[in-house]
């Protein structure tokens, strides 16, 4: 059934897509200034080699993160695992660890002469390889699996139990029902997670630089950092945008056109939890191991730094903490609100144009954050000088940067929402606003909250845009940590970094506690 989307939805969707295109437009403007020499540099074998290495890493990290996140998401939503809420929160925390901390942690723990090298060797255990490809794979998997985790959780929470019950009643064992029904139905969630993780890896600079893995984003950084060469950097950036377009097209092609919501009538409700019985201990061990590497290890290293420098004055932190939370919250709410029209258009009114609009929101996601920040400087100075230097500009930057995270998760849960439910409400005479508030929104809640949690966590640690676009003197916990580590004063970085992680944990805890209220039913 094809219907025309309301005009307001179109306006909102087109506006968001236009905003998301700012980085690409900026790159085109700068690339137009490139001379023949820069073009020559672009089409060198080396460029392709770098691209190949980077894509290989992105694929490997995406696969590993998905394999890690699926059991974790299932355990925390569908089983009687003790302490599910707590595990959920802890398993999200790695998103809030700044990359420059997690990378350092990896080296400090497992690097040559690192804290864990000697004890591990003494117990006859292998020391994980930290440099090059394995190191990059490990560091990036640990810091990105929560993208999958949150998306898959939202998917599992909004999946209709009737599917699974039907399969079970037809005689499928729980395990077979899981792989034949639950997992295939999670395809939208996998797709959104894969895009977020894969494109994030393309954009990452911090982790690959620390473990000495040569990747494409590093080439772009070098141009800005060393050469002050904006036109050549823009060409490289556009190459990355083209790769993003290719990845998006591939994902669209793989995704197909299947429907994921149920079509039968009846109220949605929660699945009866699976009893883990004897599997309880291995399940706890798995969660514990992931939390140990992703949370306990960085906290341990930070505490170690902090203890070494107890005498170090790190200054009052309430102001920066409040700045971090308020700016990140505003960014999270704005990104989720901005994601709604794009997701609605693509899912409810699918056409080439609406799907294209939704895809466009990813255009800048694979770009190194500094490029995005500079494109917002460009937009601010050229188009909205009265906003430049205000907090609005920073929130706008967070929206442009993190819109895909919100779109991905919201879209995935919208796909699982049966359109007949809001339609039925509308046919009963409810005005559209009431339908949205009383039917659609509650059903979408897990997705909206997961999207907001993602944006909140990643905005908390965001750096280049915060440094360049925040009002002058607007200090956040992330800029405080950066200020200390930039000159190697690690002891001073410990307190704000720990606070950053603690506040992020609280924020996600808050969101997860809201999630409980809204389990379908």
Partner 1 sequence: MVRLLLFSLVLTLSSPALAAETLTIYSGRNEKLVGPLLKKFTEKTGIGVKVRYGETPQLAATLLEEGAKTPADVFFAQDAGALGALAKSGQLEALPKETLDKVDARFRSPQGVWVGTSGRARVVAYNTKKVKANALPKSILGFTDAKWKGRLGWAPTNASFQSFVTALRLLKGDEAATQWLKGIQANAPRVYKNNSAVIEALGRGEIDAGFVNHYYLFSAKKNKADLPVANHFVAAGDPGALVNVAGVAILKGTKNADAAKKLAAYLLDSEAQAYFAQETYEFPLVAGVKMAEGLPALDKVGSPDLDLSKLDDLRGTVKLLQDTGVL
Contact 191, 173 (CB under 8 A): no
Residue whose CB is less far from partner 1, 192 or 323: 323
User: Is residue 483 close enough to count as binding partner 1 by CB under 8 A?
Assistant: yes
Nearest-approach distance from CB 432 to partner 1, in angstroms: 22
Single out the segment in contact with partner 1 by CB under 8 A; choices: 89-97, 175-183, 271-279, 388-396.
388-396
User: Is residue 135 close enough to count as binding partner 1 by CB under 8 A?
Assistant: no
CA end-to-end span of the chain, whole Å? 28
In the shown chain, the binding pattern of residues 304 to 343 toward partner 1, with x for contact by CB under 8 A and - for none, equals ----xx------------xx--x--xx--x----------
The one among 111, 135, 294, 496 contacting partner 1 by CB under 8 A: 111
The one among 87, 149, 163, 224 contacting partner 1 by CB under 8 A: 224
Nearest-approach distance from CB 71 to partner 1, in angstroms: 34
Nearest-approach distance from CB 428 to partner 1, in angstroms: 30
User: Is residue 381 close enough to count as binding partner 1 by CB under 8 A?
Assistant: yes
Q: Structure tokens of 233?
A: 């950097």
Residue whose CB is less far from partner 1, 181 or 336: 336
- Mutual orientation of helices 132-158 and 45-78 as an angle, nearest 10°? 40
Q: Give the residue from 442, 474, 480, 447 showing the smallest Cα distance to 461.
A: 480
Q: CA–CA separation, 40 vs 15, rounded Å?
A: 36
**Cβ-count burial 215-241 (b if 16+ within 10 Å, e if not):** bbbbbbbebbeeeebbbbbbbbbbbbb
Show Cβ contacts of residue 370 under 8 Å, excluding neighbours closer than 6 positions.
221, 224, 464
Contact 321, 503 (CB under 8 A): yes
- Tell me how long the chain is: 521
Nearest-approach distance from CB 481 to partner 1, in angstroms: 13
The one among 196, 484, 495, 503 contacting partner 1 by CB under 8 A: 484
Contact 164, 156 (CB under 8 A): no
Contact 410, 483 (CB under 8 A): no
User: Is residue 464 close enough to count as binding partner 1 by CB under 8 A?
Assistant: yes
Single out the segment in contact with partner 1 by CB under 8 A; choices: 59-67, 216-224, 341-349, 357-365.
216-224
Residue whose CB is less far from partner 1, 227 or 250: 227
Contact 284, 443 (CB under 8 A): no
In the complex, the residues that contact partner 1 under the rule CB under 8 A are: 37, 41, 44, 46, 111-114, 209-210, 212, 214, 218-219, 221-230, 232, 308-309, 322-323, 326, 329-330, 333, 370, 373-374, 377-378, 381, 385, 388-391, 464, 467-468, 471-474, 479, 483-484, 486-492
């Amino acid at each position: 059934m094809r219907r025309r989307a309301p005009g307001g939805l179109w306006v909102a969707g087109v506006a968001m897509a236009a905003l998301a295109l700012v980085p690409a437009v900026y790159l085109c403007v700068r690339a137009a200034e490139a001379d023949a020499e820069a073009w020559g540099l672009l089409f060198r074998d080396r460029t392709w080699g770098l691209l190949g290495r980077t894509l290989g890493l992105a694929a490997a990290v995406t696969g590993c993160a998905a394999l890690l996140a699926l059991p974790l998401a299932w355990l925390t939503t569908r089983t009687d695992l003790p302490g599910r809420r707590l595990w959920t929160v802890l398993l999200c925390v790695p998103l809030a660890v700044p990359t420059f901390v997690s990378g350092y942690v990896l080296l400090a723990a497992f690097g040559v002469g690192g804290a864990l090298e000697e004890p591990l060797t003494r117990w006859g255990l292998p020391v994980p390889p930290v440099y090059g490809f394995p190191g990059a794979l490990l560091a990036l998997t640990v810091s990105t699996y929560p993208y999958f985790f949150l998306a898959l959780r939202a998917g599992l929470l909004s999946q209709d139990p009737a599917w699974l019950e039907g399969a079970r009643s037809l005689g499928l064992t729980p395990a077979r029902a899981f792989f034949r029904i639950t997992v295939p139905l999670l395809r939208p969630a996998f797709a959104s997670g894969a895009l977020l993780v894969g494109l994030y890896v393309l954009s990452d600079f911090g982790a690959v630089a620390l473990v000495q893995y040569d990747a494409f984003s590093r080439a772009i950084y070098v141009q800005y950092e060393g050469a002050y060469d904006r036109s050549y950097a823009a060409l490289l950036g556009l190459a990355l945008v083209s790769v993003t377009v290719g990845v998006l097209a591939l994902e669209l092609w793989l995704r197909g056109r299947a429907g994921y919501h149920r079509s039968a009538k009846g109220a949605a409700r929660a699945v009866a939890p699976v009893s883990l019985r004897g599997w309880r201990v291995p399940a706890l061990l798995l969660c514990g191991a992931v939390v140990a590497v992703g949370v306990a290890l960085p906290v341990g290293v930070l505490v170690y730094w902090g203890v070494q420098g107890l005498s170090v004055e790190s200054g009052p932190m309430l102001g920066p903490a409040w700045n971090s939370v308020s700016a990140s919250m505003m960014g999270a709410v704005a990104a989720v609100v901005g994601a709604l029209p794009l997701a609605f258009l693509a899912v409810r009114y699918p056409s080439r144009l609406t799907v294209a609009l939704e895809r466009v929101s990813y255009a800048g996601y694979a770009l190194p954050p500094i490029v995005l920040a500079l494109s917002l400087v460009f937009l601010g100075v050229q188009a909205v000088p009265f906003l430049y230097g205000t907090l609005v500009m920073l929130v706008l930057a967070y929206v442009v940067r993190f819109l895909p995270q919100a779109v991905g998760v919201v879209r995935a849960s919208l796909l699982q929402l049966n359109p007949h439910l809001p339609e039925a409400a509308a046919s009963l005479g409810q005005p559209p606003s009431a339908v949205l508030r009383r039917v659609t929104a509650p059903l979408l809640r897990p997705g909206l909250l997961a999207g907001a949690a993602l944006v909140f966590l990643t905005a908390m640690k965001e750096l280049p845009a915060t440094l360049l676009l925040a009002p002058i003197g607007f200090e956040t916990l992330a800029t405080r940590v950066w200020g200390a580590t930039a000159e190697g004063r690690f002891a001073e970085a410990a307190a704000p970094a720990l606070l950053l992680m603690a506040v992020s944990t609280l924020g996600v805890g808050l969101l997860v506690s809201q999630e409980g209220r809204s389990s379908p039913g």
